Structure 1
Amino acid sequence: MQLYTILEIEQLQEYEDRPYLLETIEWVKSFLARPHPKLGRPGAVCPFVPHSLKSNSIRLAVIRTKYLYPEQLEEIVGSYKDIFLKMEVKEQELAINKAFLLIFPDVHIEDACKLIDSVQQKLKPLFVESGLMIGEFHKRNETPGMHNPDFRPLRSPIPLLAIRFMVEADLPFLLSPVDPRLRIRYLEAYLKCFDHKFTDETKFKNAHQALALAKEQLKQGNLVH
């Protein structure tokens, strides 16, 4: 499960998983790094990707899952959290552009929703509490775009999980759990991550308000039961 930068992949010769790496790179360059008419805002689909490409800060790995149990897959993906955090960057200002793309070519499209999504949901709390985000991508992903509910930004040609550092703009992704306990975990981790170093005071206030609401919902739920 070797991690490769895009420049390293382009120089690879004999490697059986190279086609999956190249297909994913093409998707990153032609979709994530470019504007889209259905996006609902100006700029690239993922605003960080153009900078990540320019600084060669994206690393990709192919994970073969044919003989793995779901628990084994969770363990493998979880190990990349520690690898990501320990990996140094040459220039501190490029840290925010660092990303891992873990590619799963053995996962059939019919199984992607169950397997990829479940691994992401299981591990997300641990990643968020480490100041990271983990996102699930595959052809059947129905998650709507933030600025256009008819846009599907998390669809990729090959199932994959993406790992990156949390940013202030991630707040909406931490408000979705119905369970107030999970929302509280996410919001407390979010506030701790930026430790009053917010550049956007509105997000700071919104996070505190959302946290207070989640705690009140938990309190009311406990009273009902």
Structure 2
Amino acid sequence: MQLYTVTEIEQTQQDLPYLIEVMEWVKSFLARHHPNLGRPGPVCPFVPYALKSNSIQMAVIRGNNLTFQQLEEIVKCYRDIFLQGDTKDKEFDIYRAFLLIFPDVHINENFQLIDRIQQKLKPLFVESGLMLGEFHRNTQSSGLHNPNFRPLRSPIPLLAIRFMVDSDLPFLQNPDDDPYLRSKYLEAYLKRFAHTSTDKAKLNTAYQALALAKEQIQEILINS
């Protein structure tokens, strides 16, 4: 049974349009194939089963009167809640996701706020075996199979929390990232998959990318 206070009902009424809009976007875009995707299957291959298993949860975060630090702490709290979540079978954890919706950012078109939070907190999330993705209508992040496709564009700004999967390697070895940061990402990736992944090619690529990052760090230290 679920009981609601008047305040909770009023808050739900305010949040519901944003929840519905994002839910429809997940169903009509992420869970389906797009002709510009560059590969077969849905935009996100995990979403169809996540929808079927009811593994996606959403929250609306109103940020008009919150500082960047306060929003950052809220996202970190959701990280902790996500890690505390329990499933009967751990192999299905990869289908779990939190979508944190920021409608006030949408109204004010301050999309850089979403990017800043994601960039600031990504190392913390990766260290915990998680990924933190930024979505809004102006993101320039391109698809892995088609550089002209923008899979991270959403109707309302949001941050997505999910567990890291072995196919996330390209997002963790970006040569534009600082080598110190890249090294931490790749170490977290290998810690998670070195003894569980059957994709030896990906593991070898990760080890090579980590060795390169460490070489670059050494060069920085020598030249500093």
Above 0.5 in TM-score? yes
For 2:43, the aligned partner's letter is V
> Does 2:117 align with 1:119?
yes
> What are structure 1's unaligned runs of at least 5 residues?
1-13
Q: Match of 2:54?
A: 56
1:86-101 to structure 2, matched below 5 A, reads 86-101=84-99
- Aligned mates of 2:127, 2:152 — CA distance in 1: 22
- Is the CA contact (8 Å cut-off) linking 1:33 and 1:45 kept in structure 2? yes
Q: Deviations over 1:85-131 (max 9, x none)?
A: 1011233332110000000000036311x100000000000000000
- Aligned mates of 1:37, 1:104 — CA distance in 2: 28
- Is the CA contact (8 Å cut-off) linking 1:38 and 1:151 kept in structure 2? yes
- Aligned mates of 1:18, 1:90 — CA distance in 2: 29
1:24-173 to structure 2, matched below 5 A, reads 24-108=22-106, 110-112=109-111, 114-173=112-171
Hey, which bits of structure 1, 4+ residues long, moved more than 6 A?
Answer: none
Pairwise CA distance, 1:28:
0.1
For 2:70, the aligned partner's letter is Q
Pairwise CA distance, 1:197:
1.4
- Is the CA contact (8 Å cut-off) linking 1:39 and 1:147 kept in structure 2? yes
**Paired positions, count:** 212
- Is the CA contact (8 Å cut-off) linking 2:129 and 2:164 kept in structure 1? yes
- Aligned mates of 1:170, 1:97 — CA distance in 2: 14
- Aligned mates of 1:78, 1:27 — CA distance in 2: 25
Q: Match of 1:10?
A: none
- Aligned mates of 1:90, 1:215 — CA distance in 2: 39
Two-structure CA RMSD over aligned residues (Å): 1.3
- Is the CA contact (8 Å cut-off) linking 1:55 and 1:94 kept in structure 2? no
TM-score (norm 1): 0.91
**Identity within the alignment, %:** 64
- Aligned mates of 1:210, 1:27 — CA distance in 2: 35
- Aligned mates of 1:93, 1:169 — CA distance in 2: 15
For 1:168, the aligned partner's letter is D
For 1:158, the aligned partner's letter is I
TM-score (norm 2): 0.92
